Amino acid sequence: MKPTGATNPILLGLIEDLKKKSVEQKVNIWNKVATDLQRPTRKRRLVNLSKINSYSKENETILVPGKVLGSGILDHKVTISAYQFSDGAKEKLQKVGAKIIPLNELIKESPKGKGIRIIG
């Protein structure tokens, strides 16, 4: 039987870092994100900008444990972190002035996970 789940060494390192931070800080948010990223690619979360627009507020920090897609419109500035972004999503986020942060930097900026909303 062929193994499923993450095989990318960069992704595996990120998952390991998330789990370590979860134990160090005694918070479950990073463990939840790591568990979501361990899923096979076809089962990972895909979130459109329209959904982020609906469930977020101005200047909020959003975390997507998967990929952000460019369908829809985002009409307010947010700080967003995700494992992957489509080219269309990056373009639209830059136009609206949203800040894109890699997951490993978000872990360093907010080790306790305070003020972060998971969407997906």
**90, part of any domain:** yes
Q: pTM of this prediction?
A: 0.88
pLDDT score for 2: 65
CATH number of the domain bearing residue 68: 3.100.10.10
**95, part of any domain:** yes
pLDDT score for 7: 79
Which contiguous run of DSSP H or E holds residue 22? helix 9-25
Successive 10-residue mean pLDDT values, the chain, 120 residues: 74 93 93 92 92 94 95 94 95 94 92 92
Which contiguous run of DSSP H or E holds residue 61? strand 61-69
Q: How many whole angstroms separate alpha carbon 83 and alpha carbon 50? A: 18
**1, part of any domain:** no
pLDDT score for 25: 92
pLDDT score for 3: 63
**2, part of any domain:** no
Domain total of the chain: 1
Beta carbons of 37 and 18 less than 8 angstroms apart: yes
pLDDT score for 29: 94
User: What is the domain extent for residue 45?
Assistant: 9-118
**15, part of any domain:** yes
